[in-house]
Amino acid sequence: MSESEAEGLFGALFGRGAVSVGDRDWLQAMLDTEAALSRALERAGLAGAGAGAAVSAAAQAGMFDVAELGRQATLTGNPVPALVRALSDSVPAAARYAVHRGATSQDIIDTAMMLLARRAIEVIDSDLAAAAAGVAGLARSHAETEMAGRTLLQQAVPVTFGLVAAGWLTALDSAREELRRTRTGLAVQFGGAAGTLASLGPAGSAVPALLALELGLAEPVLPWHTDRLRILQLAAALAGVCAALGKIARDVTLLAETEIAEIAEGRDDPRRGGSSAMPHKRNPVGSVVVLGCTRRAPGLLATLAAAAEHELQRAAGAWHAEWEPLSDLLRLTGSAASWSVPLVTGLRVDADRMRANLAAAGGLPLAEHVAALLAPAVGTLTAHDLVAVAAARAVGQGVSLPDALLADPAAATALRNTGISRADLDAAVDPAGYLGSAAEFIRRALAAHARLDGAI
């Protein structure tokens, strides 16, 4: 994103952080590719001594007119031909033979795309690591903080907030791992007109390896002009990051609802979360903007998937369709990751409110546990039906599940026959006694996170 774009109406929202994929970034990445190619050609004996240094010295984005290159792109379908002419005019005559030699426009743009992706991934991974560390802290400190589990947006069995955070953590860590794997596959593109490098003669096949070495990218087995799996895998990894971040943001918006109020975003500025119409509002702005970024990822991924089919040796239009969607996906993923760091590290957890909301259900979230107590004596289905009837009565009459069970003749008889007392029922609806393997799952998530951090 350019400086002007970052300062625009929406730039600070959807372009937050250090991921930069604006016009000038693209231009510099293309120039970096051209400069590296000239150095690779020199090392391969295909350009004169000093040509690489001369081209590299001239390959500075600030020396070129981005707008004019854009206007010239309308003549050729992409900005590379105009860039090559301008770059050639900027270097000594002896070095001009090294500018763009053996390359085609797609080689330059695809490699530039890989450079932009690598730089963006480094930024995104840094923010994800910070967010994951914050989430790990929540999982650790709230391992015993009981709250209502919710399925289909209704209270289910109890969980702990630590387990919720552990779920966030494992998703973040999985997304980080996939992004790291994707980064290792970012490769140079260099195949010339139709993927044969015929214009470079017998020495041509050595140039891709030298180019990859110059840029710190992988060397592919062969040019990938019409094999777009690399782009699709990158897009899928970015969409995966957005899915993990969007999950956190969505949970925060739900748990921060006025009637639930179990968590709240930090408020470093009294104006944060305000409304233009309602002075009392405290909206979860960080989560909302994260979702504003991540909700766009599936559509961008779909566009890139649709553009992955390239005909014959070079595509007519599908290649062109990739540039802006991938730029947008890198920018939005970077913004979502950047927003997520203060979101999770500043999150305020109201443990008392969590327990109060759970207690307000009168033991209903523990209905499964109560049915399990009855099942050995009356059978699983009968126990389920008895508890279901009692639960409906509890809701209708505003009483607790134990009270409703004892007031039901059939259930009361079953309880007496099985020797289950009121004290046993009260114990059965105590959330602390029905958390299952939550603590172990949190331990595993934290251990896996520690191993990942140690491996990176």
Catalytically active residues are 275, 314
Contact (Cβ atoms closer than 8 angstroms) between residue 80 and residue 34: no
Contact (Cβ atoms closer than 8 angstroms) between residue 197 and residue 190: yes
Torsion on CA atoms 40, 44, 46, 48, rounded to nearest 10: 80
Task: List, in order, residues 6 or more apart from 245 with CB less than 8 Å away.
Answer: 131, 172, 290, 293, 294, 336, 337, 340
3-state secondary structure of 30: helix
Q: Which amino acid is at 278?
A: M
Q: Which amino acid is at 106?
A: Q
Contact (Cβ atoms closer than 8 angstroms) between residue 195 and residue 313: yes
Strands (E) in 184-297, as ranges, are 263-264
403: left (phi over 0), alpha (psi -120 to 50) or beta: alpha
Query: Which of 230, 39, 36 minimizes the C-alpha distance to 117?
Result: 230
Q: How far is CA 59 from the centre of its chain?
A: 33
Distance CA 102, CA 33 (A): 13
Taking residue 423's Cβ as centre, other Cβ atoms within 10 Å add up to 9
Kindly list the distances between the CA atom of residue 189 and the CA atoms of 157, 211, 245, 287, in Å, as whole numbers in the listed order: 53, 9, 31, 38
